[in-house]
Structure 1
């Protein structure tokens, strides 16, 4: 006698789906709905132009006649290292980046230590420190042009104390330092906020234990705060370096690359090469070189400043 159950007429056997399968599909659809527009925009306005730039770097043409392209291979890249103007702009950009990083890191760290303490109107002070970061670079460069020109506020203040007028924007030895100071002033708030976030995430137990063991404030700063802030320092150095490598508005508005090309940064050279000299292929090659330099410097900095501290 068979014990196999007979199916009931008119009923369908139930199929059991894996638990959570429907929820996983819903999460996938939700993620695609949120990320889809961003991915599409990134492909159109970021990665698409990047691929087009790589392609154009192997051609010679003008913006007036873009259809008349001539394939030149690696000639544009060879020209980068044989053209004295381009090499000079590369050196100037690297000097600008080094100067900005050297000045910004200690100033931002000390300012973050100050803002991390108890002070009145702390929120307002933090806002004022961060305000230059969100201000347009064009506005900042225009403001500093009024401050540093021959009849500007700074020269007027120097004249009131008996100091002769300084050619901040027309001197071959003062123009680049002036742009470095401007860049530090604008990016100091970003570095300070990053350091402030790192300071506020430090474990208070270590500080309390060090205080109980008799460590002085200087010892706690040197042996606890600085080592634990190494990861934040890596982030700040990389971010500030990338911003400095992209400097354009100060050279364009304040000096025009003058005097004698001492403020002709790579990004400003790319602009001149593409739109003034009508050589977009060569400008694309310089842009690709700048991208490689930024990636290489970031990787080297992360490697050199890598720390074993974790918290």
Structure 2
């Protein structure tokens, strides 16, 4: 005979209500306040520095981009709205600067990314004194860009080391930094030499994260070194590739010291990088409002390029 509802409830025992958490005691509240104050004390310097050197300058940059004034008389700033932004797309020097920067960025990425990967594959092998070799490869990265640019200027100048060697062999000197056909190439090679170590170290970390079983299985299946590189290594370091490409793109967009020290933007504007152009516009031409507008466009362009790169290089691999 089927048990009634009351009998089933009686068999289960008295109905229990969910427990209500007790209110925090005074001691617990004091402990939470102390923890929050301690965390705030540690975070406050970093928050203050971020506001002081990042967000406040961005606000000032945005404010200045819609004004027209000179650094000699900043109080006479005149509101011009979007005039500075419209001028960017009609100013020939600015357009040339964007074009030069784009060519430099593409050439730099095409060389430094695959070269960094190949160098990382080489360093990932069983080499004697690997630590020393890695240090030597990474040393240019931690060297000041000003020092590197000055050193390469001494080497590539008309009477520099390279032309001295060429002259000693009976060859004519080459105008590496004063010829518009070679100046940009010289700067690209210098930047590759400086940054390939960073790309190699980043790729090396990605290579060491690849499971050893995958490489061993490919060797057992008879895959050669090039096949393993193309079909296993390259796909499985694609996440690292995204990081390297984005970082190298940002470096290319921020390049300033080579143009400032080695060529001063010449010859004929062939190395007039956008950062150097912003510097000249603000401090030499006395148009800080226009320079601020260019800076905002560069910032937006960098964000868009990074997002596109991350989208195009998006990977399905997860290990």
Instruction: Report the equivalent of 2:120.
Output: 112
Distance 1:286 1:160, change over 3 A: same
Return the offset for 1:287: 0.7
Are 2:135 and 1:136 equivalent residues in the alignment? no
Per-residue CA deviations over 1:229-250 (Å, capped at 9, x if unaligned) read 1110110000001001101111
Structure 2: state its 5+ residue gaps.
Answer: 1-21
Instruction: Report the equivalent of 2:54.
Output: 46
- 5 Å matches for 1:217-236? 217-236=225-244
Distance 1:82 1:196, change over 3 A: same
Structure 1: state its 5+ residue gaps.
Answer: 1-13
- Is the radius of gyration larger for structure 1 or structure 2? 2
Secondary structure of 2:76 counterpart: coil
Report the TM-score when normalising by structure 2: 0.89
Return the offset for 1:34: 2.3
User: Take 1:164 and 1:238, find their aligned partners in 2: how far apart are those partners?
Assistant: 40
Instruction: Report the equivalent of 2:97.
Output: 89
Return the offset for 1:295: 0.7
Match of 2:283 among 271, 275, 278: 275
Instruction: Report the equivalent of 1:164.
Output: 172
Return the offset for 1:26: 5.4
Report the TM-score when normalising by structure 1: 0.91
User: Take 1:18 and 1:220, find their aligned partners in 2: how far apart are those partners?
Assistant: 63
- 5 Å matches for 1:174-189? 174-189=182-197
Distance 1:224 1:253, change over 3 A: same
Return the offset for 1:198: 0.6
Instruction: Report the equivalent of 1:3.
Output: none
How large is the RMSD of aligned CA atoms in angstroms? 1.9
Distance 1:219 1:178, change over 3 A: same
Q: Which ranges of 4 or more aligned residues in structure 1 deviate by more than 3 Å?
A: 14-31
Are 2:158 and 1:150 equivalent residues in the alignment? yes
Secondary structure of 1:61 counterpart: strand
Instruction: Report the equivalent of 2:200.
Output: 192
Paired residues in the alignment total 298
User: Take 1:15 and 1:283, find their aligned partners in 2: how far apart are those partners?
Assistant: 58
Return the offset for 1:160: 2.7
Distance 1:288 1:219, change over 3 A: same
Per-residue CA deviations over 1:102-124 (Å, capped at 9, x if unaligned) read 01011111111111112122111
